[in-house]
Amino acid sequence: AQSVTQLDSQVPVFEEAPVELRCNYSSSVSVYLFWYVQYPNQGLQLLLKYLSGSTLVESINGFEAEFNKSQTSFHLRKPSVHISDTAEYFCAVRGYGGSQGNLIFGKGTKLSVKP
Amino acid sequence: GAVVSQHPSRVICKSGTSVKIECRSLDFQATTMFWYRQFPKKSLMLMATSNEGSKATYEQGVEKDKFLINHASLTLSTLTVTSAHPEDSSFYICSGQIGEYEQYFGPGTRLTVT
pLDDT digits (tens, 9 = 90+) for B45-88: 999 999 888 889 999 999 999 999 998 888 999 999 999 999 99
CA nearest B46: which of B112, B114, B103? B103
Q: How far apart are CA A89 and CA A45, in angstroms?
A: 10
What burial class does residue B68 get, using C-beta atoms within 10 Å of its C-beta: 0-12 exposed, 13-18 middle, 19+ buried?
Answer: middle
* Structure confidence at residue A97 (pLDDT): 59
Q: Please tell me the least confidently modeled range out of A34-38, A44-48, B21-25, B50-54.
A: B50-54
Q: How far apart are CA B92 and CA B45, in angstroms?
A: 10
Q: How many CB atoms lie within 10 A of CB B24?
A: 19
* Structure confidence at residue A98 (pLDDT): 52
Of the candidates B6, B103, B107, the beta carbon closest to that of A103 is on B103
Higher pLDDT pick, A97 / B78: B78
- Is residue A100 scored above 70 in pLDDT? no
Q: Give the residue on B whose Cα is nearest the Cα of A97.
A: B100
Banded pLDDT at A28 (limits 50, 70, 90): confident
What tens digit of pLDDT does each residue of A9-18 get?
Answer: 999 999 999 9
Q: How far apart are CA B92 and CA B70, in angstroms?
A: 15
* Structure confidence at residue A70 (pLDDT): 93
* Contacts A49 to B, Cβ<8 Å: 102
* Contacts A107 to B, Cβ<8 Å: 42-43
Do strands B102-105 and B67-73 pair parallel, antiparallel, or not at all (unpaired)?
A: unpaired
Q: B83-92 as b/e, with b when 16 or more CB fall inside 10 Å?
A: ebeeebbbbb
- Is residue A42 scored above 60 in pLDDT? yes
Count CB pairs under 8 A between chains A and B.
42
Which bin fits B94, alpha (ψ -120 to 50), beta or left (φ > 0)? beta
- Is residue B42 scored above 80 in pLDDT? no
- Shortest Cα distance, chain A CAs vs residue B34, angstroms: 9
Of the candidates B41, B43, B107, the beta carbon closest to that of A43 is on B107
* Contacts A32 to B, Cβ<8 Å: 101
Of the candidates A43, A90, A97, the beta carbon closest to that of B43 is on A90
Q: Which amino acid is at B78?
A: T
